[in-house]
Amino acid sequence: MKHLQSLPPPFAEPLDALLADIAIRVQLSESNYKKAVARFHAIQEYIQREDSPLHDLVTLVYAQGSMAIGATISSKLENDEFDIDLIATLDLPSDTPPHRMLDLLEEAIAGEPGSRYYGKTTRCTRCVQVQYADGMHLDVTPMVRIETMPEKCGYIYHAPKRHATDDDTKIVANPWGFAQHFIEHTPKDVLFEAAFMARAREFETAHLLVEAQAEVEQVPEQEPMHAKSMAVIALQLLKRYRNVRYDQRDVRCPPSVMMAKVVADNAGHTGTLSEELLLQAGQLRGVLQEAQDRGRTVIVANPACAPDVFTDRWPDTLMAQQVFIGDLDEFIEKLQQLRGDVDLVQMQATLATMFGERATIEAVKQFNERTGQQIVYGQSRHTPGSGRIVLPTAAEVAALGVAAVPGIVRATPKHTHFGDEPCA
């Protein structure tokens, strides 16, 4: 208990509080999470209906990618569009032509004119996407299990056209295995988890996001969606920064799963969110720079399935790789500046360039409201001119069951948790 009492609250530093609040604003809300789960169950049942070309041929449907590891964020900067990725394991011959595999899934989802998803589907090169009026997308990828390989390992299919082409291929993948690996390697901290959940629920309650959903069916009980590790929040923020940087670039962006692999490799070594974010950005940069120095594009593979290469479509050139290295250099430089003596006005301006204006402005506004309330209720004391707030201890926060309220910006000790050596 002595150790707990001596620890600062997880969001005692204003930068950590603002980073957490930005993450809350760009991730799935609890109501959208429940909506996504309900839609997942609905489409799972629909593609197996009696008049479906896949009736009795769907053995398993499960979440993959960001949804499976709790790292989903909005795919757009100024509105809440979310991409939810699913795998549909099919009982079909593995040598089914790739374009035909996507044909069958598209027919099963789109159905006949007037049916549930008709006119709402888009066929992509490896999946069939379902669009909803509220901006959510469900990307359903067909897979055929490879029985001789580890659990849930299988072929996914790549077909850019509706007919056979030389580019058609099948790819070994195991997204389920990677999700288990990621979860195992990103341990949760009880104090951080409780504080983040409290902040997220406070935000959602204030914005009337946690409410009965008219369109949402009943869903099974889920793990609390805001019960996340510090590493997951860092991954979400890195993905958000990537989205900001690539928003106006007409090129493929670095894959989320590659970033998740690096985060999992290096999680659990820091004490605050800003430290974790700085560490992870540095390690990601190190992995890319090592490849760049050798004159090759980076190769990052699935630790649960070696033939499953996460970087098979990005980067396609050294220039594409160098562009993102430059982005990470700028990110690291700005984050290091934010961890020094920076006033709140400058902090807001810098964070807006990193994560977008809307999310940043909303986070800073709530920061100011919290600070004012805490001073009024005697929970913190501002020393005018010192830039410091005296905050409750971690033990007091835990006893209250609420997140700490940060105050005026203060200096953070300057130390760097990444070096020149890339991660393994």
Answer whether residue 293 shows pLDDT above 80. yes
Answer whether residue 82 shows pLDDT above 50. yes
Q: Residues 233, 267: contact at Cβ < 8 Å?
A: no
For residue range 280-292, list pLDDT tens digits in order. 999 999 999 999 9
Answer whether residue 121 shows pLDDT above 60. yes
Residues 78-100, mean pLDDT to the nearest whole number: 90
Length of the chain: 424
Q: Indicate the helix (H) or strand (E) that contains 154.
A: strand 154-158
CA angle at 167 for the pair 164 and 173, rounded to the nearest 5°:
105
φ and ψ of 142, to 5 deg: -75, 145
CA angle at 225 for the pair 89 and 373, rounded to the nearest 5°:
160
* Distance between CA atoms of residues 206 and 209, nearest Å: 8
| 202's tokens | 């406070």
For residue range 173-230, list pLDDT tens digits in order. 999 999 999 999 998 888 899 999 888 888 888 765 544 443 333 434 445 556 789 9
pLDDT band at 375 (very low <50, low <70, confident <90, very high): very low
Ranges of beta strands (E only) in 38-153 are: 58-63, 83-90, 121-123, 128-131, 137-145
Domains in the chain (CATH in brackets) are 2-27+186-400 (no CATH), 47-173 (3.30.460)
DSSP secondary structure letter of residue 90 = E
Q: Residues 26, 241: contact at Cβ < 8 Å?
A: no
For residue range 155-168, list pLDDT tens digits in order. 999 999 999 999 99
Q: Indicate the helix (H) or strand (E) that contains 201.
A: helix 190-206
User: Mind telling me the catalytic residues?
Assistant: 83, 85, 139
Single pTM value for the model = 0.83
- For residue 301, the cross-strand partners are 309
- Assign 3-class secondary structure to 265-299: HCCCCCCCHHHHHHHHHHHHHHHHHHHHHCCCCCC
- How crowded is residue 380: how many other Cβ atoms within 10 Å of its Cβ? 21
CA angle at 269 for the pair 263 and 274, rounded to the nearest 5°:
75
- How crowded is residue 31: how many other Cβ atoms within 10 Å of its Cβ? 18
pLDDT at 28: 85
CA 292 to chain centroid: 26
